[in-house]
Chain A
Amino acid sequence: MQFKSQAVAKPYFIAAIGLFVGQILFGLILGLQYVIGDFLFPAIPFNVARMVHTNLLIVWLLFGFMGGAYYMIPEESETELFSPKLALAMFWIFLVAGALTIVGYLAVPYATLAELTGNNIIETMGREFLEQPLPTKLGIVVVALAFLFNITMTVLKGKKTAVSIVLLIGLWGLAVFFLFSFYNPVNVVLDKFFWWWTVHLWVEGVWELILGSFLAFVLIKTTGVDREVIEKWLYVIVTLTLITGIIGTGHHYYWIGTPEYWQWWGSIFSALEPIPFFAMTVFAFNMVNRRRREHPNKAAVLWALGTGVMAFLGAGVWGFLHTLAPVNYYTHGTQITAAHGHMAFYGAYAMVNLMMISYAMPILRGRAANSNKSQVLEMWSFWLMTVAIVFITLFLTAAGILQVWLQRAAESPLPFIAAQEKIAIFYWMREWTGVAFLIGLVIYIISFFVKGDEEKAA
């Protein structure tokens, strides 16, 4: 690696992968509970397993973002990290806080956890994805601020590139919009309205800046295409992201008590949200086609192309599928949403992190790229996980369409549970595909331990 302090990224990446494994294991538990309703009941009820599944996802992605930033920023700024010690301290704080939170979810009833952790002081718990106890939420703020301070100081003392500026805007946005997780008014409509300022403005806003920036960085490194060209693309992509995505928040304001005009604003702007993702796909393929060098790390290039395509399919196409208000009236809160969520998160955020890890990890371990044998294995894991998520999405989509039909559109609509029983076959197929995903993930991890002829780092 070019700068010694980039090494702090390594524990972040390792933790990210570890938590990813946990996320998938709990995903399999949830999938089984869909078809064997009393599986692990009452020890681990569905809501607890789901919290663990989604919170681990968020935390591992954040670990990946932080690790990626710590790796990338010194190289972009052409200077050592402002404080590697602070970065390491924050790593341990975040890891311990995260682990304690998960233990808390699993060890005591959620109401008891709320009681013990001071939810009565500021009531923030019990809202989807923001279930973390108050100390954890405060810990996230502390870690995020220390991280941002570290990264910002590094950029300020070094070179300022478009790639690092876009990343900084994304990361600061992430921290700022998280603050809305502390606002929980008694009025449930207001609660929901601002809940989306964290959730939507993260995943369909500022996180896409992080994604674009990471992708641009790895493409610069692996293709050797002129930075000017890549950075121009990056600006165009993030422009498209924010001019569609910010007002696109409106697609969550159709049925929660907000005025009807959101059905127009939300439908029109969120219908345009696939465009930046499409641009990202074109961008990745275009740059790789115009490459001026053959980078030995083929696996990283594969992840880069993969994240472009899968983010477009998952976030773009599957998002569009149910974003228009007249369609969403029927699909809102069904398995269609779950289908979209799975492919979008994997395609956009899991894959971009895996891309960064794939590019950076070999260099952090003192080689330009992993051995051919190791890369072949990594590419197998790429295809297994990616094909698995495609099928998980297809099965959930089929389940969702039938659910909408049986429960909401048929002449004599069925009650929720009766409809669920009729579509169980798709849940079974999703579960088996989930097992295939886990096998892919295991192969991915094995690929780190496969030796062979490695090229020394430059």
Chain B
Amino acid sequence: MSGAFTKSMARNIFYGGTVFFFLLFLALSFDTHSQLPKRDMRANITPQIAEGKKLWEVNNCIGCHTLMGEGAYFAPELGNVVARYGEEGTKGFIKARPKEGVPGRRSMPQFNFTEEQLDAIVAFLKHVNSINDANWPPNIQG
């Protein structure tokens, strides 16, 4: 890296390359946005699903679980949990968590959700499961 290749050439390639690839990224992002409505099922989002997402966030569910593979790896994937356990099964599981945990084992905290809140959470998780995410996860276990 000497001789003909100078520092100012390197600098120009840096600026030019960065701008080019950033613009390309913006173009791809723009195209993605035009395609998303067909994939993200936004037309189906109800106030109940929005409430479910909020509950998902303010209880920091992502701190243990993954959702579409993103999050923490301490507890199961939830993007397809409704398909795995059913709506009632999912609600029942959340409700049945012992307050003091299970000796020696991992356990979800008891959040004392109301029926309405449980319905909202399940509606949100069902919505996530309906998103076209290229067939991920590989199987029902998440």
Which A residues are closer than 8 A to B by beta carbons?
33-34, 36-38, 41-42, 45-48, 50-51, 110-111, 114-115, 119, 123, 125-128, 131, 162, 184, 186-190, 192-193, 228-229, 231-233, 235-236, 238-239, 242-243, 246-247, 249-250, 252-263, 265, 329-330, 332-335, 337-338, 407-409, 413-417, 419-420
Dominant secondary structure of chain A at its interface with chain B? helix
Q: Which residues of B contact A36 (CB under 8 A)?
A: 104
Excluding A38-B103, A259-B39, 12 further A-B contacts by CB distance (< 8 Å) are A41-B100, A50-B72, A111-B58, A127-B62, A128-B71, A189-B39, A189-B131, A190-B36, A246-B21, A254-B136, A337-B73, A408-B139
Q: Does B94 contact A (CB under 8 A)?
A: no
Known: A233-B1, A255-B68. A246 touches B22 (CB 8 A): yes
Are B72 and A187 interface neighbours, CB within 8 A?
Answer: no
A34 surroundings in chain B (CB, below 8 A): 74
A119–B53 alpha-carbon span in the complex (Å): 13
* B141-A37 in contact (CB<8A): no
Digit string of B101-121 for contact with A (CB within 8 Å is 1, else 0)?
A: 111111101110000000000
B70 touches A46 (CB 8 A): no
- Are A126 and B104 also in contact (CB < 8 A) when A235-B11, A408-B138 are? no
Which 7 A-B residue pairs are closest in the complex by CB-CB distance? A47-B63, A126-B57, A333-B69, A37-B106, A255-B136, A235-B10, A189-B40
Instruction: Determine whether the beta carbon of A333 is less than 8 Å from that of B62.
Output: no
Residues on the A chain within 8 Å of B6, using CB: 232
* A42 interface neighbour in B57, B101, B131, Cβ under 8 Å: B101
A-B contact pairs, 14 of them (CB 8 A): A45-B64, A45-B109, A123-B57, A187-B40, A188-B40, A190-B40, A235-B10, A243-B18, A257-B133, A334-B73, A337-B73, A408-B141, A419-B141, A420-B106
Pick the most buried of A162, A252, A332: most chain B CB atoms within 10 A of its CB.
A332
| Chain B residues whose CB sits within 8 angstroms of the CB of A415 once the complex forms | 76, 141
B100 to chain A, nearest CB (A): 7
Residues of chain B within 8 A of A252, CB atoms compared: 70
Q: Which of A254, A255, A329, A333 contacts B71 (CB 8 A)?
A: A333
Given the known inter-chain contacts A255-B134, A333-B70, please indicate yes or no for A110 contacting B59, CB distance below 8 A.
Answer: yes
- Chain B's closest residue to A419 (CB) is B141
Min CB–CB distance B66 → chain A (angstroms): 4
> Which residues of B are found within 8 Å of A111, using beta-carbon distances?
58-59, 111
Question: Bound state CA distance, A246 and B17, in angstroms?
Answer: 11
Supposing A50-B72, A110-B60 touch, asked if A257 and B101 sit within 8 A by C-beta, the answer is no
How many pairs of residues, A versus B, come closer than 8 Å at their CB atoms?
Answer: 228
A229 to B6, CA, bound (A): 9
Report Cα–Cα, A288/B139, bound state, in Å: 50
Bound state CA distance, A114 and B10, in angstroms?
Answer: 47
Q: How far is the CB of B106 from chain A (nearest CB, A)?
A: 3
Q: Which of B5, B25, B73 contacts A247 (CB 8 A)?
A: B25
Contact (Cβ within 8 A) A257 B104: no
Residues in chain B near residue A231, CB distance under 8 A: 7
User: CA A330 – CA B71 in complex, angstroms?
Assistant: 16
B100 touches A42 (CB 8 A): yes
Determine how close the nearest CB of chain B comes to the CB of A161; give it in whole angstroms: 11
Q: From residue A440, how far is it (CB to closest CB) to chain B in Å?
A: 25
Supposing A111-B59, A127-B57 touch, asked if A38 and B105 sit within 8 A by C-beta, the answer is yes
Given known A-B contacts A186-B53, A330-B138, A37 and B68 have beta carbons under 8 A apart: no
Which A residues are CB-close (under 8 A) to B133? 255-257
CB-defined contacts of A229 to chain B, threshold 8 Å: 1-2
Q: Which residues of A contact B103 (CB under 8 A)?
A: 38
- Of B14, B58, B64, B69, chain A has the most CB atoms within 10 Å of the CB of B14
Against A, the Cβ 8 Å flags (1 = close, 0 = not) of B1-33 are: 110011100110110011011101100110110
User: Are A247 and B63 in contact, with the CB atoms below 8 A?
Assistant: no
Contact of B141 among A131, A187, A249, A407 (CB under 8 A): A407
CB distance from B88 to the nearest CB of A (A): 18
Q: List chain A residues, Cβ under 8 A from B101.
A: 37-38, 41-42
Interface centre among B7, B17, B49 (most CB of A within 10 A): B7
B45 an interface residue at 8 Å Cβ cutoff?
yes
- Residues in B with CB closer than 8 Å to A235 are 7, 10-11, 13-14
Flag whether B96 is at the interface (Cβ < 8 A): no
Residues of chain A within 8 A (CB-CB) of B68 are 192, 255-257
Given contacts A338-B73, A408-B139, contact A131 B60 (CB under 8 A): yes
Q: Check if B36 sits within 8 Å of A128, measured CB to CB.
A: no
Closest-by-CB residue of B relative to A257 is B131
Q: Is the CB of A42 within 8 A of B138?
A: no
B77: nearest residue on chain A (CB-CB)? Answer: A333
A253 to B101, CA, bound (A): 36
Q: How far is the CA of A241 from the CA of B1 in the complex (A)?
A: 18
Instruction: Assess whether B28 is in contact with A47, with CB atoms less than 8 Å apart.
Output: no
- Cβ-defined contact, A37 with B105, below 8 A: yes
Residues B7 and A232 in contact, CB atoms below 8 Å apart: yes
Residue of B nearest to A233 (CB): B1
Nearest residue (CB) in B for A165 is: B11
**Least distance between B14 CB and chain A CB atoms (Å):** 4
